[in-house]
């Protein structure tokens, strides 16, 4: 059974009216997962020691102090703090770390339905709706706490995971792969960006492209990862490459998210006993988000374990 990590505190991260990264996104995820047999687990509060593996303590404390007692604090034109943002972000970190702990020690798969998202947060910069680099923190938890030596972080959000790339740039034990529309926010993610050890692979996709182009980009990378033999696979599961999403211009459908999830689960079954931890990133059309998350988690459930 797939473990589902979430918490009501994620609803306490409230953005200004009209902001695409809104509380209603989690309601859409709940709608998509309604009726599924999942092992539902409350995200614990994250440990600062895990956050400090990726973000300097002074930066973390600056963010904590910026949390307002009412209304919003704008960190940039896209990224806001409300009174509940600190606990929501800590729950996101706690959720992925708990999911990593469970999957590494007990096997299986997990989906972390948390917000705010994380893959744009750089070491000393919150941006792109993101406060902490959640998936990178999970990767470092697996590497440093559990002693793994090969962890793959795969990102299919429509926007490049610049934060994850920044946080893992010098980490030879992690492979990071990102497919994303190019050019698009945040402006990074060229194929020439390969990391300090050549361990980063960027897969730029042209506006208007769809499932066929996605499959052609991902299949050789997955074949290469099979030779590398990761011990754990982490996913930045963004669903804003969907054809209905208002913030981008790719034309994926639910079947495309299902195909990619299935291919990744097949890789995990071959390499690491099926161990996959997925965490929610983008996806801003609420109906498309609900349907795409459902397709994604159904494939996590269907994969042999």
By annotation, the residues acting in catalysis are 120
Cα–Cα distance between 65 and 58 in angstroms, integer?
11
Instruction: Determine the distance from the C-alpha atom of residue 140 to the mean position of all C-alpha atoms in its chain, rounded to a whole number.
Output: 14
Greatest alpha-carbon pair distance for the chain in Å reads 51
Cα–Cα distance between 30 and 294 in angstroms, integer?
9
The closest of 127, 132, 129, 164 to 56, measured between CA atoms, is 132
List the end-to-end C-alpha distance of the chain, in Å, as a whole number.
Answer: 9
The closest of 178, 5, 35 to 103, measured between CA atoms, is 5
Strands 3-6, 39-42: pairing is: parallel
Encoded tokens for 47 = 């440990």
Cα–Cα distance between 207 and 251 in angstroms, integer?
8
The closest of 26, 62, 77 to 283, measured between CA atoms, is 26
With both helix axes pointing from N to C terminus, report the angle between 24-33 and 286-302 in degrees, rounded to the nearest 10.
Answer: 40
Instruction: Determine the distance from the C-alpha atom of residue 19 to the mean position of all C-alpha atoms in its chain, rounded to a whole number.
Output: 19
Cα–Cα distance between 268 and 304 in angstroms, integer?
10
Torsion of CA 155, 158, 164, 165, to 10 degrees: 100
| Cα Rg, the chain, nearest whole Å | 17
């Amino acid at each position: 059974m797939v473990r589902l990590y979430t918490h009501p505190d994620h609803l306490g991260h409230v953005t200004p009216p009209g902001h695409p990264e809104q509380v209603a996104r989690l309601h859409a995820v709940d709608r998509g997962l309604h009726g599924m047999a999942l092992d539902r687990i409350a995200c614990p509060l994250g440990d600062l020691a895990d956050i400090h593996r990726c973000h300097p303590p002074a930066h973390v404390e600056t963010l904590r102090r910026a949390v307002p007692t009412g209304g919003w604090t704008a960190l940039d034109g896209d990224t806001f703090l409300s009174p509940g943002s600190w606990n929501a972000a800590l729950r996101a970190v706690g959720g992925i770390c708990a999911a990593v702990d469970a999957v590494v020690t007990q096997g299986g798969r997990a989906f972390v339905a948390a917000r705010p998202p994380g893959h744009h947060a750089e070491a000393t910069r919150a941006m792109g709706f993101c406060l902490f680099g959640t998936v990178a923190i999970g990767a470092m938890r697996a590497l440093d706490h559990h002693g793994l030596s090969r962890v793959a972080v795969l990102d299919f959000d429509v926007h490049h995971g610049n934060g994850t790339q920044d946080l893992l740039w010098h980490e030879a034990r992690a492979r990071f792969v990102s497919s994303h529309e190019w050019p698009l926010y945040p402006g990074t993610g060229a194929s020439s960006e390969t990391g300090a050890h050549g361990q980063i692979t960027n897969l730029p996709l042209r506006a208007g492209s769809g499932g066929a182009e996605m499959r052609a980009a991902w299949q050789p990378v997955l074949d290469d990862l099979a030779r590398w033999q990761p011990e754990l696979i982490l996913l930045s599961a963004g669903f804003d490459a969907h054809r209905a999403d208002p913030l981008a211009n790719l034309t994926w459908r639910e079947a495309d998210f299902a195909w990619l999830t299935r291919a990744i689960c097949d890789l995990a079954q071959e390499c690491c006993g099926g161990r996959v931890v997925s965490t929610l990133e983008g996806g801003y059309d609420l109906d498309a988000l609900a349907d795409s998350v459902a397709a994604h988690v159904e494939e996590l459930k269907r994969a042999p374990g």
